[in-house]
Amino acid sequence: MTNLEQSDPKVFAIIKREARRQKETLSMIPSENFFSPAVREAVGSVFMHKYTEGNIGRRYYEGCEIADALEELALERARQAFRLPGTWDANVQALSGSNANQAVYLALLQPGDTILSMYLPDGGHLSHGWSYEPSLPSPAEEPVYRGGSRKVNITSRLYRVVQYKTDPATQQFDYDQIEQIARQEKPKLLITGGTAYPRLIDHARMRAIADAVGAYYLADIAHEAGLIAAGVLPTPVGVADVVTLTTHKTLRAGRGAIILASRELIKKIDRAVLPGLQGGPHMHNIAGVCAGLGEAVTDEFRVYAQAVLDNTRELAQGLIEQGFRLVTGGGDKHLLLIDLRDQPLLGRPYARALAAAGIVANYNTMPQETRSPLDPSALRVGTPHSTGRGMRAAEMVQIAGWMREVMEAAASWQEMKFEAFDEAARQSPDLQRIAVAVRELCVRFPLPLSAFAVTEGVH
């Protein structure tokens, strides 16, 4: 990065600080990962200079022959990585997971149609539609949520969104209840997937529910895409009507999104992406996605994906042994949700205390949530990033132990206002001691990224 250092030392200094932060702290956020030097080089390539509005062989600009070759290779690798049936194809142009979902809605629905998706506080995603009534929280015992007047996402503004909740007893999907809601609400689209559901989804059952009411079934696998590509989790490809995914989480393929569906639906989705939602695709991101997909079909990636699952189980056991209660009792994929209602600290202050100790997680809502999303009851943690650094069972046990130490160290500040709490966390000798130990662990398991050499020698 010598060019940047010379031409813009302020930006260079900020990047250097972020590189150091990533090197010396533990990212336990399940939606975060890091990319190989090859993926990063592809994203930073000359393809960022080229405008390629249109599709392969049908661009609105000249000079796109080489870009066509890149996008076709990305499509070919998507077909291979996700083992598409012969009647299916892909779109790699959507800029993000939310864009990909919007493209599916635009292709398959009319404004005002009903969508049935997962209740946001239980682990659903904003792009699946969210609205609420500020003064009237949804009663936890009601299995269905029909939203409110405050429509905070474009999906809820354009479509009628109804949401199913998890079962209060198990905190997991009650498929019979979802089917009953579907028969009552008659959606045109049924959606699964979200940001904080730690268990597997029965895609065949969901498809049967959709079929029973004449709906399309969309499986959003943004979080577990890499684990599905590696074959360590069951796939909805060939079961759902459409599958959407982001490329930067467990897939480790740069920033972007992929849509998978039958060729008949992909033709509609292509038109929804362009001209429906976007102009030209970001070819440098597609280059990164292409390089990452090439890595995702290797034996090394399959070993990594299995290790993510193994580490999740080890971390879950470690947290339970440290006295933490897990939503659904554990997790089947790469993430866990910790129910903190029986602990001294809830999600937001606990996340801040952990960050002061070098452990980066995120506060989150949980099933039967009664608090604001800005100050919720749970903490979300995951294993993709730490697994990629080479950490395994012993390190998961150690991390769980540190998380208990942080809770005990910060418990005495629980009555403080958040600003005072934050200051106490940053000044705490106990949390600083843990941060040093975390840094030492990160040195033992360095990020395998040559570009991070920018911070070598900075301590």
Residues annotated as catalytic are 51, 53, 220, 246, 249, 255
- Alpha-carbon distance of 342 to 147, in angstroms, equals 29
Question: In the structure, how many helices (H) and strands (E) does the chain have?
Answer: 17, 18
State whether residue 443 is helix, strand or coil: helix
State whether residue 210 is helix, strand or coil: helix
Residue type at 40 in one-letter notation: R
On whether the CB atoms of residues 203 and 192 are closer than 8 A, the answer is: yes
- Alpha-carbon distance of 181 to 150, in angstroms, equals 23
State whether residue 91 is helix, strand or coil: strand
How far are the Cα atoms of 39, 334, 407, 427 from residue 315, in angstroms, in the given order? 29, 10, 16, 28
On whether the CB atoms of residues 322 and 400 are closer than 8 A, the answer is: yes
DSSP 8-state class, residue 5:
H
Strand 54-55 vs strand 58-59: parallel, antiparallel, or unpaired?
antiparallel
Could you give phi then psi for residue 64, rounded to 5 degrees?
-105, 10
Token representation of residue 66: 């080489």
On whether the CB atoms of residues 148 and 136 are closer than 8 A, the answer is: yes
On whether the CB atoms of residues 25 and 358 are closer than 8 A, the answer is: yes
How far are the Cα atoms of 191, 360, 421, 444 from residue 456, in angstroms, in the given order? 46, 22, 33, 14
